[in-house]
Amino acid sequence: MTGQSFQTTPTVPSPQALARIAASLDANPRRAHEEAEALLARSPGFPPAELLACQALVRLEKPREALPRLEALAMREARVPAVLWELAQVAMSCGATAKALPALEALTRLQPAIAGGWFLLARALRASRREMDAWRADLSGVHASARDPELVKAAMAMNAQRFEDGIALLEARIAQRGEDAPAVRLLGETHWRRGDMTAALDRAMRAVELAPGFDLARDFLIRLLLQNNRLAEALEHAEVLVRSPVDTPAHALILASVLVRIGDHARAEELYREILGARPQQPQVWQNLGHVLKTTGQQAEAICAYREAVAQKPTMGEAWWSLANLKTARLGPADIAAMEAALASIDPAAPELREDTFHLHFALGKAYEDAGEPAPSFAHYDKGNRLRRTLVPHDPEAFSAEVAATAQTFNAAMLAQMGPGGCEAPDPIFIVGLPRSGSTLIEQILASHSRIEGTLELPEMMIIASRLQSRVDEGEFPDFAAMIAALTPQDRLRLGEEYIEKTRVHRKTSKPLFLDKMPNNWQHVGLIRLLLPNARIIDARRHPMACCFSGWKQHFARGQTFSYDLADIARYYRDYVALMAAYDAAAPGAVHRVIYEDMVHSTQAQIRALLDYLGVPFEQACLDFHTNARAVRTASSEQVRQPIFTSGVDAWERYTPWLGPLEHALGPIDRLYPAPRMP
């Protein structure tokens, strides 16, 4: 600490002598102690010499000898920061928190701009079980650190994308001065922006450990945990954050986002309503509330929430699209005029408004479709897709190559060679296929059964597959097949158990079976069979023209990067059919296929066949699935709350004049549907 101003005594040792002792404290604390005591013998009670003697005792691991002397010195030199700092540190190391607190409180009054004093005070307050006072002290330390020139320099390097420079600055600071929460959090953010998620998570966790009241660090940590699908941990930290003494709706908003991810929509709705009750002029929160209301089947209220959002912000494209995407809602001429006006008001050169732009195009496409005007409808869908395609990475050639490699890997010979293994839990039922293929309908039917719990589109299997693929990408294995072949029965057991454990947070009932409706898991059917041999797999398939067109005109929140180009989505459909045909050949009967058109036209027969495959008895509730009030988050959430209807089966035919590229890219339909006949 700086800013010393000791009282003087008649006999003053030379500054050179004091400096010499200070310089030897770390290298030779015994000698420093002897010299300081010698000075005190000549100048009894001389404060700088007394402080040096106490510092030497600490380095000689005799803090309990130093403590009473520092207390006495602080009584005489109550305005010398260095004395208060040393007393506080020594008292804390001796477990004498009650003696540290007055020193730290005095220290932070004298030097409020020094962050270290606040963080040490927070530790002392926390040790004294004064949690909220400790939280405020941490926040004061964070505020003080905002003016730290080293941190400002590192932040500027990060914002300029000079990540290596920023990391070097922060690591050098930490090596020299020890860890402090603001530096560690900034180091974590720099690693995150550079793309190193593991290092980012490690630093974010450490920052929260160092300063539990560092709200921005905890907020950052929650977001990283959400990105890594570590939902239980994210919820734990979000529950802490909302107790912050800082009164801001941001904390409740991030808790609500975690609650939505784990499926606790009722509590998320409650939080959104509380926030809006205090401050209703928040279009983003109205939109979020609309999403929750839609998911829980409160359609009329969802419409009101979305309309409130666009009333407050007419250019809010996502809210317009969400309103249009309520399949039971209709946007009229006044809505179309409002959206066209909003679109015209957006500066096309403003990158931050591109999302509003493509959302408005998708919403207008749906509005004109409902109005029976396919030409302007297709034009807006096309513009929205073209813009969205420029913003998402998708390499159809590389993806097709990955699918072909997967098909070659999981052949019958390989499955036989791998032998038994994996987690034998029978709980999971995977519903796979393309989006808009009827998978939500199957999910709703099965979730109406007394033995089957509906959850969400769970990413856990995709995360496991991605982690395994990273071992190939990092050079540990020459290719995917070699990596899979290297999995031992114990590896497969561990990974299968990991899936069961990680999905447990989504299970809210005691039902023995549960659904995982992540459609993209069609890519991982072979891996599922290795890790979870008793899992059931249902392939939801729909006519390729209907499925691809429906997917193309549906803007997905995330994940479906193939869906914004008619040729891309056709190729994706062909890759999907080819891989599923390969799985059928490798393990006949392992996957149960449900053809959407058959389900629509012969519902009871299809449901009975499906339940027979799952080994559960028929229940009337499965036929009455539309009365099930469970939460549904997908684009079909309103449709599955109605009895089955056939009006949408051939809806794509109205757009036939514009679908030549899709038809051409698909090729002969009879090779893809309903039973693939591959060349």
2 has a pLDDT exceeding 70 = no
The pLDDT of 128-141, averaged and rounded, is 96
Q: What is the DSSP letter of 161?
A: T
- The stretch 270-299 carries a mean pLDDT of 95
CB 360 within 8 Å of CB 348: no
Residue 134 structure tokens: 């400790």
Give, as one character, the DSSP assignment of residue 537: E
Query: How far apart, in whole angstroms, are the C-alpha atoms of residue 19 and residue 48?
Result: 10
**Confidence label for 10 from pLDDT (cuts 50, 70 and 90):** low
Q: Of residues 329 and 250, which shows the higher confidence score?
A: 250
As a whole-number percent, the residues of the chain with pLDDT over 90 amount to 86
Q: Kindly give the pairing relationship between strand 428-433 and strand 513-516.
A: parallel
- Residue ranges matching CATH 3.40.50.300 in the chain: 396-671
Q: So what's the pLDDT on residue 12?
A: 75
Instruction: Name the 3-class secondary structure at 540.
Output: strand
Question: What integer pLDDT is reported at residue 674 of this predicted model?
Answer: 87
**Both structure tokens of 308:** 């409130």
Average pLDDT on 651-678 reads 88
More confident: 9 or 111 = 111
- Is 431 strand, coil or helix? strand
- At residue 432, φ and ψ (nearest 5 deg) are -120, 170
Q: Are 168 and 150 in contact (CB under 8 A)?
A: no
As a whole number, the mean pLDDT across the chain is: 92
Does residue 223 contact residue 196 with C-beta atoms inside 8 Å?
no
Q: Is the pLDDT of residue 637 over 70?
A: no
The pLDDT tens digits for 62-83 are 999 999 999 999 999 999 999 9
AA letter at 20: R
With vertex at residue 286, the alpha carbon angle to CA 281 and CA 289, rounded to the nearest 5 degrees, is: 145
Q: What is the mean pLDDT of residues 435-460?
A: 93
Whole-angstrom distance, CA of residue 595 vs CA of residue 542: 6
HEC letters along 82-136: HHHHHHHHHHHHCCCHHHHHHHHHHHHHHCCCCHHHHHHHHHHHHHCCCHHHHHH
Q: Pick from 233, 309, 298: which is nearest to 269 by CA?
A: 298
Report whether 85 contacts 62 (CB < 8 A): no
- Write down the pLDDT at residue 194: 94
Q: How far is CA 181 from the centre of its chain?
A: 22
Residue 348, pLDDT score: 81
Distance between CA 318 and CA 323 in Å, rounded?
8
Helix, strand, coil percent values for the chain (each to nearest 5): 65, 5, 30
Query: What's the pLDDT tens digit per position in 593-605?
Result: 999 999 999 999 9
What SS3 string covers 466-515? HHHHHHHHCCCCCCHHHHHHCCCHHHHHHHHHHHHHHHHHHCCCCCCEEE
**Strands laid side by side in the 428-433 sheet:** 452-453, 513-516, 428-433, 536-541, 591-595
Q: Where are the beta strands (DSSP E) in 352-464?
A: 428-433, 452-453
Q: Is pLDDT at 222 greater than 80 in this prediction?
A: yes
Longest alpha-carbon distance in the chain: 106
Q: Which burial class, exposed, middle or buried, applies to 323 when counting CB atoms under 10 A from its CB (0-12, 13-18, 19+)?
A: buried
Confidence of residue 547 (pLDDT cuts 50, 70, 90): very high
CB atoms within 10 A of CB 507: 14
pLDDT at 675: 77
List Cα–Cα distances, 397 to 404, 406, 572, in angstroms: 11, 14, 10
**573 CB-contact burial (10 Å; exposed 0-12 / middle 13-18 / buried 19+):** buried
Q: Which amino acid is at 366?
A: K
Angle at 350 between CA 345 and CA 355, to 5 degrees: 80
Q: What is the pLDDT of residue 13?
A: 81
pLDDT surpasses 80 at 640: no
Ranges of CATH 1.25.40.10 domains, the chain: 15-145
- For tokens 């600055």, the residue is 169
CB 521 within 8 A of CB 550: no
- The answer to whether the CB of 414 falls within 8 A of the CB of 485 is yes
| Whole-number Å distance between alpha carbons of 289 and 312 | 14
CATH classification of 396-671 is 3.40.50.300, yes or no? yes
- Average pLDDT of 525-545? 97
- Predicted pLDDT at 650: 78
* pLDDT surpassing 80 at residue 643: no
pLDDT reading at 468 higher than 60: yes
Lowest mean per-residue pLDDT among 143-157, 222-236, 503-517, 642-656:
642-656
Matching residue, tokens 């986002």: 257
CA distance readout (Å), 487 to 117, 468, 484, 528: 52, 10, 5, 13
Q: Residue 566 pLDDT more than 60?
A: yes
Question: Does residue 6 carry a pLDDT above 60?
Answer: no
Q: And the tokens for 395?
A: 């390499």
Which of 534, 333, 348, 521 shows the shortest CA–CA distance to 426?
Answer: 534
pLDDT at 351: 85
Q: Is the pLDDT of residue 646 over 70?
A: no
The pLDDT assigned to 353 comes to 86
Q: For residue 678, is pLDDT > 60?
A: no
What pLDDT shows up at residue 651? 83
Instruction: Give the model's pLDDT for residue 645.
Output: 55
User: In Å, how far are 178, 318, 419, 517, 554 from 635, measured between CA atoms?
Assistant: 51, 14, 40, 13, 8
Domain covering 15-145 in this structure, CATH number: 1.25.40.10
pLDDT at 9 (0 to 100): 47
